[in-house]
Amino acid sequence: MTHTRGELFDPVFGADALAENISDRAWVEALLEMEAALSRAAATVGLVTGDDAATVTAVSARLAEPGGIDISDLGRRSASGGNPVIPLVRTLRAACAGHGVPAAAVHVGATSQDVMDTALMLLSRRAGRVVVSDLRTASDAAADLARHHRSTPMVARTLGQQALPTTFGALAVSWFTGLDAAADALEHTLSTLPVQFGGAAGTLAATAPRGLDLADALADELDLARQVVPWHTTRTPVAALATALGIAAGAVSKPATDITLMASTEFGEVAEDAPGGSSAMPHKQNPVAAITARAAARRVPGLVSTILSSMDHEFARAAGAWHAEWETVTDLLRLTGGAAHRLASSIGGLRVDTDALDRNLSLTGGLILAERVTGALSEYTDSARDIVTAAAASGVPLDRAPDITAHLSADTLRDLLDPSHYLGHAVDLVDRALANRAAPPARTTGGHR
């Protein structure tokens, strides 16, 4: 599987702002944070002394600092056991032993999966909040456009063809309502990410009879949701996260696609404030932010599929399906976050060319108002649809077709063929969407109990 990561491509696809939250260093920090919290939680239930827990926390913090752990070396030592927790715990225990902390006070009753899963929840919550922030920035910018252009006429297109008049504001409503819904869903999912603690086989045997108390104390230490039972092989939390990220990427794709098409030379209806050029064609003004947002988002569904197809964890520990999640979720965060970041840049500086909107609105010479003319003509003849269809097919303007002018006056046709007079509830829909957005439901991203 190809990954977008590193100094060359992260800025292109918008992931540079997110990089520090999903880097290998961020993974190590989350693993160590879990280990430190586990020792503190064990102290609260009497399994570890408070002094030992404080030392484990201090040593973990020192190891998490740049230079504290050689990540390349850790990766090499991880190969034999199939995950980085095994060598990391060995390193942590050795460092704590120098301060008189017994090995039993580190990694208390845990298995590698407990640490990996909980670290993944911590990393996802932090990175996910950045994704939500960019989704909301993009949505705010789209809402501003909707407000400013609530009644600016443009043509609505269906199946790639001109259909009826609408407003640019109504189009922007479709952007920000989708982004808002996706941001709300992702934010809720982040707020429900649970701790994972089950021990070697999910029975918490090593910490019985305090295992359940220890799991709850660990969740509280990390501000994650308490687990009902260990979810070693019930992967709905990971699947819910992946699905929410997939929906968010899809919500980004909609406006990114519209902007890319509307910025084309033939349409010329919008332009980014900092378009990209071409290495060969000096005249090019490419909507690069929208294009790269779309590019990043297009890779997300396949990764979501990987997570969903990896939910069949056998018995009490999966062989391979679990391991497939780590980089996949990390890449989901990277790509969805990058797409949202690039879209926020695109919409935030989008320029709308109302002259181009008007030009394209009149491109068919009034044929986009055929529905309205048919309705008016039907009051005089049962053949209204056939008459208007024939006129449209002949290329004769509707206000000059004899079978139409025989029944409808020039003034009536002038009114009927005015796009601004056939906007339906477009302006009302903009106002309604903005009013609904002004009083959103309470949003939280912290853990719950």
Position 204: which residue type? L
E strand segments, 274-400: 351-352
Give DSSP secondary structure letters for 233-255. T--HHHHHHHHHHHHHHHHHHHH
Give DSSP secondary structure letters for 174-230. HHHHHHHHHHHHHHHHHHTPBP----TTSS-GGGTTSHHHHHHHHHHHHTPBPPSS-
For residues 437 and 179, give the distance between their C-alpha atoms in angstroms, rounded to a whole number. 12
Per the residue annotation, which of 62, 76, 264, 278 is the catalytic one?
278
For residues 371 and 375, give the distance between their C-alpha atoms in angstroms, rounded to a whole number. 6
Burial class of residue 248, CB neighbours in 10 A (0-12, 13-18, 19+): buried
241: CB partners within 8 A, 6+ apart: 124, 128, 189, 190, 193, 329, 332
Per the residue annotation, which of 77, 129, 147, 317 is the catalytic one?
317
Secondary structure of residue 270 in the 3-state scheme: strand
E strand segments, 114-175: 153-158, 161-167
Residue 278 annotated in active site: yes
Indicate the DSSP class of residue 83: S
For residues 36 and 24, give the distance between their C-alpha atoms in angstroms, rounded to a whole number. 18
Residue 75 CB coordination number (10 Å): 12
Bond prior to 402 in cis (omega within 30° of 0): no
User: Nearest CA to 187 among 247, 106, 271?
Assistant: 247
**∠ at Cα 285 (282, 286), nearest 5°?**
120
154: left (phi over 0), alpha (psi -120 to 50) or beta: beta
Cβ atoms of residues 129 and 183 within 8 Å: no
For residues 331 and 318, give the distance between their C-alpha atoms in angstroms, rounded to a whole number. 21
Which residues are annotated as catalytic?
278, 317
